[in-house]
Structure 1
Amino acid sequence: MARYRGPRLRIVRRLGELAGLTRKSPKRSYPPGQHGQARRKRSEYAVRLDEKQKLRFNYGVSERQLVRYVRKARRVSGSTGLALLQLLEMRLDNTVFRLGMAPTIPGARQLVNHGHITVNGKTVSIASYQCRPGEIIGVRNNDRSRKLVEANLQNPGLANLPSHLEFDKNNLTGKVNGIVEREWIALQVNELLVVEFYSRKV
């Protein structure tokens, strides 16, 4: 199964805050399970695995997709970790989420899959579509699509709009002005540990 469909707060309790996965906050601060409150020394592998899982669950990608992104990031000049984060951040579902059109990334993926979102005036229903600078992200010109997005804009997932995006609330259109910068990535993750995790596997 490509996407996680289980309890989201369980994942948040284990990995920490994931703004893209859910807006709810857990009542308990310790990890789930019988031994959640027990203090135990964690291995280096476990720490790297958790950082990798943060990316997987926050952006809603499968293990195979994440491996593909890591390989693509390695071919880019510069920091592999930063390139990996930028590839994930520039996905269409994440861009729709960051524009405030959806409360979470899974909600944004549903908007995209159901054909409510357009790129440069054409309907795009592929959540993994890589947004490029200069592209216009809009809402399909029908009442149902506009009402869905307008309702979501009342309570956006994240309050601050990143510097690489701009949004026109009147026309319900957003523009990608560039590639996201590291300080605007909302997820608290150590991308270098993710690259180390895959260094022996990819």
Structure 2
Amino acid sequence: MGVDHLKNVVFKENPLARYLESKCKLCRREGEKLFLKGEKCFTDKCAIDRRNYPPGQHGQKKSRISDYGVQLREKQKIRRIYGIFEKQFRIIYKNADRQRGVTGDNLLQQLESRLDNVVYLMGFGSSRAESRQIIRHNSILVNGSRVNIPSYIVEPGDTIAVDQKSSDQLRIKASLQAADNRGYPSWIEVDIKGMKGTFKNKPDRSDLPSTINESLVVELYSK
């Protein structure tokens, strides 16, 4: 592939394991926006703004959840935010646990450093799912070399760009404009006209949403 530090684990996805129902149900199940539907999540058409309770006939009934249930729900929520399968997520967690530092922080930094997530944050895709599709269609370059692996880990200083052949795609242009209107995280820098960006550094925990409680995932997997 021409990229020197392509040292990632390549995950093979099982198409039969994909979630085929409405993605809005996942947000309602977790009780918050997971931003799975692109621009729809930023409008008043978002399902959770209309029906902020779990889907199903018993969704509005309140039930007590055990400590294990709370930990499981948090793990599921994080998996769904980043679009990670269970097997992938366990491997990422094990890698984070082996690293120096706080396991939970390492976990989030690995998830945030995935190419599909970086492409989404830079605005080349309206959602992480669309970003994965764009990457698989050979539309993304990392440091000038084509990379079509969504799980590829981006390193600080890496430049991510849209391939020139894909620069006329309307969906990429629309996503870029919408992302620019919202603003970008402090750890990335984007050149809209050049359709490229730089991953300046890995985010600190304080830079990431406080609605994520990664310590619950650590507790769950430490049992």
TM-score of the aligned structures, taking structure 1 as reference length: 0.92
CA distance in 1, matches of 2:137, 2:33: 24
Moved more, 2-11 or 79-88: 2-11
CA distance in 2, matches of 1:99, 1:183: 20
8 Å CA contact 1:19, 1:104 repeated in 2: no
Structure 2 residue corresponding to 1:40, chosen from 63, 71, 79 = 63
8 Å CA contact 2:124, 2:162 repeated in 1: no
> C-alpha displacement at 1:106, in angstroms?
0.3
CA distance in 1, matches of 2:207, 2:116: 17
Letter in 1 for 2:84: V
- Which runs of 5 or more residues in structure 1 are unaligned? none
The 1:50–1:81 alpha-carbon spacing in structure 2 relative to 1, beyond 3 Å, is same
Q: Residue in 2 aligned with 1:15?
A: 30
Letter in 2 for 1:60: G
CA distance in 2, matches of 1:33, 1:139: 41
Residues 146-165 of structure 1 aligned to structure 2 (within 5 Å)? 146-147=168-169, 148-156=171-179, 159-165=182-188
Q: Secondary structure at the match of 2:138?
A: coil
> C-alpha displacement at 1:100, in angstroms?
1.2
Structure 2 residue corresponding to 1:109, chosen from 126, 132, 148 = 132
Letter in 2 for 1:188: T
- Which runs of 5 or more residues in structure 2 are unaligned? 1-15
Cα deviations across residues 67-125 of structure 1 (Å, max 9, x unaligned)? 00110001111110111011001000000011111111001111111111110111110
> C-alpha displacement at 1:41, in angstroms?
0.9
The 1:88–1:157 alpha-carbon spacing in structure 2 relative to 1, beyond 3 Å, is farther
CA distance in 2, matches of 1:157, 1:50: 32
Q: Secondary structure at the match of 1:167?
A: strand
Moved more, 28-37 or 84-93: 28-37
> C-alpha displacement at 1:158, in angstroms?
8.5
8 Å CA contact 1:98, 1:157 repeated in 2: no
Matched, 1:179 2:202: yes
Structure 2 residue corresponding to 1:83, chosen from 87, 92, 106 = 106
Letter in 2 for 1:123: R
TM-score of the aligned structures, taking structure 2 as reference length: 0.83
CA distance in 1, matches of 2:67, 2:89: 20
Structure 1 residue corresponding to 2:85, chosen from 47, 58, 62 = 62
8 Å CA contact 1:18, 1:54 repeated in 2: no
Letter in 2 for 1:11: L
Letter in 1 for 2:211: Q
8 Å CA contact 2:125, 2:172 repeated in 1: yes
CA distance in 2, matches of 1:181, 1:160: 18
CA distance in 2, matches of 1:181, 1:159: 20
Give the share of equivalent positions with the same residue, in percent. 40
Matched, 1:28 2:43: no
Letter in 1 for 2:18: R
Q: Residue in 1 aligned with 2:5?
A: none
Q: Cα RMSD over matched residues?
A: 1.8
Letter in 1 for 2:83: G
Structure 2 residue corresponding to 1:137, chosen from 154, 160, 170 = 160
Cα deviations across residues 143-166 of structure 1 (Å, max 9, x unaligned)? x44434212212239923111110
Q: What is the number of equivalent residue pairs in this alignment?
A: 199
